[in-house]
Structure 1
Amino acid sequence: MSQQDHELERRARELFLRASRDVDPAMAGRLRAARRTALASPASHTAARRLLIPASAFAVVALATLMVWQPLGNRSPAPPADVQTVDATDPTDLPPDADSTDPSLYQDLQFYSWLAYNDGQARNNK
């Protein structure tokens, strides 16, 4: 702060102290009453209400968003219509006829053999 700022602050403080000493008792009582009224007023409640309205609106929007976009749980999507489903509960079932299935299924026969072997091992370990 510059020297002028310090001087202005000093003079303002001096004037304030002199004026507060020279206040008559009736005026001092009215000032104290006004101060008590201002401190007891619900202005702080109004500020809280002003904050609660946007906060509650945000909470409602967030809840609605969660309700609309909640996960589907364990539901699996339906298989496409052109895919044949095979019931794998009976191990003696024969694979589907090669003429009626997709030829890309036969590209990785070693993988399917490995998968069947490991699936059987996992069931035996349970």
Structure 2
Amino acid sequence: MNAPKHSIDHRSLEQRARALYREASHTIDPATAGRLRAARRTALEAAQKPAQPRGVRMLLPTGALAAVALAVLMAWSPLQNRGNDALQAQMNIARAIDADSDLPPDPDKADPGMVQNLDFYDWLASNNNSSSQANR
């Protein structure tokens, strides 16, 4: 391939840039030079200080991960409970059947108010049987 006619010599470009920099630095006014030196010192001090401890930098990703995990857990837990709804319904039916049994409740579970009016419950049972036979 043919080399371009206007090829740039990088070394000569660098030397010219350095020469221009030196010339400009000698002709700059003292107030501007002072501001540039102050800005340079400030930049060097900022570069030497550690930016932030590692723990502080890790808070944002850790918090984001925790938020995503919480969202997934909240979205997933109702799905787990849907399968248990049928089991819960069966247990409720079994409890209702047990409650309707003809056996008296355990003394520990019985309501004290029911024990006080035993004559009323005896009357209720005898009248309930007679009315159910009359309806047949």
TM value normalised by structure 1 = 0.34
Question: Could you say which structure has the larger radius of gyration?
Answer: 2
TM value normalised by structure 2 = 0.32
